[in-house]
A and B are shown apart, each in its own frame.
Chain A
Amino acid sequence: MARFNVEHTQNVEVSKKFPCEKSPDRQLEVMEQYTAVHCSCTGMPKELREIACLRVLYPALFRSIMSNDRIAGRIDFLPIGFGSVTSEGGVGHYCVFKKLAAFRDKLEAADRKRVDVLYDYWLDHDVKTLFNKDILTDDTIGMFIDCEYPMIATARLSGMMLDYPKLLGKGIGGLRREIEKGLLEQPGNSFYEAGLACLDLFVACATHLQQDALQQMKTADDKRRKELQTIYDGLENIKEDRPETFHEALQLIWLYALLAGVINYGRLDDYLGPYLAADLETGRLTDEEAYSYVHSLWTLIENRRTTVNGRVIVGGKGRKHPKEADVFLHYAMRVARNCRYVEPQFTLRFDKDTSEEIWDAALDALGAGATYPTLYNDDVNVPAVAFGMRIDEQTAEQYVPFGCTEFVIQGQSTGTPNICINLLKLLTIFMNEGIDPVDGKYKAGKASVKKPEEYHSFEDFYNGYKALLDHYLDLSVETQYYSYQLMNKEVGFLFNSLLTDDCIARGKTLLDGGVRYLGGTNETYGNINTSDSLWVIKDLVFERKKYTLRQLHDAMLADFVGYDALRKDCLSCDKYGNDLDTADGMANDLYEFVAKGVRDRGIRIGMQYFLIVISNNQLNTEWGNRTAASPDGRLSGMYMNPANNPQGGANVSGPTALLNSLTTFDPRYHGGSVQNIKFTPAMFNENRALIKQLFHTYFNKGGCHLMVTVVDKGVLEDAMQHPENYPDLIVRVSGFSAVFVDLSPNIQEELLSRVLYDGDHP
């Protein structure tokens, strides 16, 4: 077993969460109770154990309704509990040891001992730690997020998008009847039994929130009292019946998502639009009230502060209620433009039939600096998803991006990225005979590596590197698959399973054979630095023969100190992002090798799909900080390129060239790929018609996605100096948006390095 630090940071957490509402005493009590129940249920079916544990947490962990909430439901997370993802609590039965240790430090000595008991218990039971014990090695696979390793792995169930249309259509009562029917056919099925108990728990939580609303009505003014009454009535109605109003529909899905620990919300326009449109039509809601509801939802999502999730998707192919959906879409567009929150990650899917009106609203929001909506091209993505995931196009129309961009099929698949690979770190390791120049450790595993002198052609060199990649790609698929096996052993993810096809039909939780499409994703990093590096090696070493591979390698080991001329030559080689067949061709070749290699392995192991995602959070910077100098001229410790974009500053041929480069890759082999472009406000807003045509052309040419930041460079620089003046300056990091001043300085610098397109000639 590898040595690892259980208190390592487990996920990216830029947005800070609200402090817990409960007293430390109460928190400790709940954690002890949870632990006791977990312990006493040893040996029980995992489903029954899970619901027993959930009953400890809920409704106990609900926060009080806040004065601007139009629907009820806020939750606290403790260092011990149950969850699906690392950004809210943890995974399965979890203990976040770092947070538990911090909690312990605030207690009196006597209470600290109580915490120590919990800490020790969970060392043997925290799902993620169990996974880590089985999987991590000392030299190849590290834990999330340990940047010393070329590959990192975790167990989590990220990006679930539940079948909310089903929930809305059936209501809790309808769902209950469906499970009861299953139970008749399979008496004693633990999933069904626990599932029914989940619905009881839902009702209990609704009742709990009703009491809070009643309590608050006593001191509220007239207006608020009416709102609280509506909340109270809505909660009552959704305990059994299908929702009748927009309010009830929102309340139902919101409360359910909270209990499921799900932090992405799917195609809200399509399933909430009909309720909203009907309420507006009948006069149950005024325009102002409708806006206020959507605004309240945005605030509730923002307040969960998951940093990289909170996806809300509007538009696109395959909507059942396009007309009503567009009503919601336009409210969402206005709210996104006005709020300027970092979450929800407001996402517009579009195709050739999307109206100019929607485009204009989207560009207005972007031009105002909202960084949203982020744009997904269905004309490209639907057929690509169909191929990549091996499903029909009609099913593929229900693809939804979550997190930093990974695709899942709403209500039908899992797509969690439990693996990340740093391709560039692997290249530096490969060139250094298997030893990572950063720490001197051997990390090539079982792959064979040779001395630089032993490669006599570029193909020879490239094949050697590919062999190392093969070794890691094998590890990646085995590890991803094992994460599912281990989680399945421990938990059922009951609330998720109830709204995922075909769990109820099969009587199985989702990782137990219930989910229709067991998919997964593999995040690749440093893609472009690696392909640019390969191009340098091909061009400078093997074709022009200006340097030997040894000379280049020596320069890298010296971080180019004393090799200024060599580094200049490296930097002068063609770079991806300039619409050049040379560098873009190399990028595509590497992409095809990695993307197909991952996909083929997923199919072989028995998954529906396992696809790379070229997404990004701040890991390109953090991992870059622990990656040695590379042949593309990048210095040791420098950030790596973000997602599918060039290294900051490498694209010097204008936006059309950049966009052409971005369309290089066959979208059928990835499960999401992020493209960024940055404009100054003057450029974007004074040339709106041309910008729109620029985007349209890019998408017509096969662009799958685009995220747009409109910002003045001077503003970012000033914000680094005077953060106090820019509390709400939002920037797109790549896979997510963030308040600029919340980011660490090295990530701010990476953002500043990215080319900003302005209208003036240089």
Chain B
Amino acid sequence: MMVTILEIERFAIHDGPGIRTVVFLQGCPLRCSWCSNPESQQQKTQLLYLENRCTACGNCFNVCPHGAIRWEEGRPVFNRLQCVGCQTCSASCLQNAIRFAGKQMSVAAIMDVVRRDKEYYQTSGGGVTFSGGEAFMQADALIALLENCRAEGLHTAVETCGHVPPQQIRRALPWVDLFLFDIKHTDKTKLKQFTGADMDLILRNLHYIASHSPEKIILRTPVIPSFNNDISFMQSLFDLALETGIQTVHLLPYHTLGTDKYRQMGLAYPYPHITPLTKEDLLSYKQIGEERGIKNIHI
């Protein structure tokens, strides 16, 4: 079975316990306007153009077999709708100014990579994390990967936005040791407006998992200025954790490291330019959460 992945990151230490390998699956149902991995949103291979490397040699324009590159004002202009991701242009680019995000890999090939760090997982209490995009967008592949990991005794984590069909969560549950479950907001309208998500669906999935194994869940919240960087949201987040019996919450400070990628994809950064947050900015939330009785709050 083939999977479209963005990349495989080894020695990942931020997405679950211990030393891990994170497999980033392509495709996401949400469109969070601060998203730092816009190239992971569609399941299709994405062309990224690194203009600062380009010497305007014209190779890409000359070799594209699909007429997806125009030459305007001494620069290539990419018609991404017409691009089929054949990568002829990037192969011809001597400056490595074109790269493609998203590639097909078989489950077996992914397992071959994952397996190579098995000893590191065992020593450190680590394992494999499936992230995205949204890992459940390729649910069959995800479950196949999870089953394979379980068969090999590897700890599994899935990072999910929760905006996925409930039956897929039910299918996956027995194979998942840990969910990194994103809660971006608790205000339905705001969530819809900024991400396109249906909060009821997300909460339904969260409650389902929590009703079975609350210890399998870490709530994760990207703290975004002008969206959820306020005490009332944090209080409601902690309420949710307490109500569902979830003991661990991760708060991730907003960063702008992904802004370049929008430019590389020919898109405008959809979120207003705001100064990134630091870990220190979130310390007061951590304190509030701890006072409310949440055991582990990580920043």
Contacts and interface: CB of A to CB of B under 8 A. Distances in A.
B284 interface: no
A113 interface: no
22 contacts: A564-B94, A568-B96, A654-B9, A654-B10, A655-B11, A656-B19, A657-B116, A690-B13, A690-B18, A690-B124, A693-B120, A693-B123, A694-B11, A694-B19, A696-B123, A697-B19, A697-B119, A697-B120, A697-B124, A700-B123, A701-B119, A761-B9
Interface string B93-124: 01010000000000000000000110110111
User: Which of the four size classes fits the interface of chain A?
Assistant: 20 to 34
A568 B94 contact: yes
Contacts of A660: 116-117
Tell me the interface secondary structure of chain A in the complex: helix
Contacts of A657: 10-11, 116-117
Contacts of A760: 257
A656 B123 contact: no
Contacts of A700: 119, 123
B212 interface: no
Q: Which 7 A-B pairs have the closest CB atoms?
A: A693-B124, A654-B10, A654-B11, A564-B94, A697-B123, A697-B120, A656-B11
Contacts of B119: 697, 700-701
B92 interface: yes
Interface string B119-148: 110111000000000000000000000000
User: Which of the four size classes fits the interface of chain B?
Assistant: 10 to 19
B273 interface: no
Interface of B: 9-11, 13-14, 18-19, 92, 94, 96, 116-117, 119-120, 122-124, 257
Given A693-B120, A700-B119, 16 more contacts: A565-B92, A654-B10, A656-B11, A656-B116, A660-B116, A687-B13, A689-B124, A693-B18, A694-B120, A696-B123, A697-B119, A697-B123, A700-B123, A701-B119, A757-B11, A761-B14
Contacts of A693: 18-19, 120, 123-124
B135 to A, nearest CB: 17
A565 B11 CA distance: 32
A565 B119 CA distance: 39
Contacts of B123: 693, 696-697, 700
B13 A759 contact: yes
A696 B11 CA distance: 14
Given A660-B116, A693-B19, A653 B10 contact: yes
Given A564-B94, A693-B18, A693-B19, A656 B13 contact: no
Given A694-B19, A759-B13, A656 B94 contact: no
A659 B170 CA distance: 38
Contacts of B120: 656, 693-694, 697
A579 interface: yes
A690 B18 CA distance: 7
Contacts of A579: 116
A694 B124 contact: yes
A654 B116 CA distance: 12
A565 B94 CA distance: 6
Nearest to B10: A654
B123 to A, nearest CB: 4
A101 to B, nearest CB: 49
A327 B119 CA distance: 33
Contacts of A565: 92, 94
Contacts of B94: 564-565, 568
Interface in A562-581: 564-565, 568, 579
Nearest to B8: A653
B117 A656 contact: yes
Contacts of A568: 94, 96
Contacts of A757: 11
Contacts of B116: 579, 656-657, 660
Nearest to A757: B11
A410 to B, nearest CB: 32
A761 B10 CA distance: 11
Contacts of A701: 119
Nearest to A690: B13
Residue in A655, A760, A761 with the greatest tally of chain B CB atoms within 10 Å: A761
Contacts of B122: 697
Contacts of B11: 654-657, 694, 757
Contacts of B13: 687, 690, 759
Interface in A658-716: 660, 687, 689-690, 693-694, 696-697, 700-701
Contacts of B124: 689-690, 693-694, 697
A171 B10 CA distance: 56
A701 B123 CA distance: 11
Interface in A608-659: 653-657
B10 A690 contact: no
A181 B100 CA distance: 80
A760 B96 CA distance: 23
Residue in A657, A690, A694 with the greatest tally of chain B CB atoms within 10 Å: A690
Nearest to B120: A697
Nearest to B15: A761
A700 B123 CA distance: 10
B95 to A, nearest CB: 9
A549 to B, nearest CB: 22
A759 B120 CA distance: 17
Contacts of A689: 124
A657 B12 CA distance: 12
B48 to A, nearest CB: 13
A564 B14 CA distance: 38
Nearest to A696: B123
Contacts of B14: 759, 761
B23 to A, nearest CB: 14
Contacts of B117: 656-657, 660
Residue in B92, B120, B124, B257 with the greatest tally of chain A CB atoms within 10 Å: B120
A653 B7 CA distance: 11
A138 B92 CA distance: 44
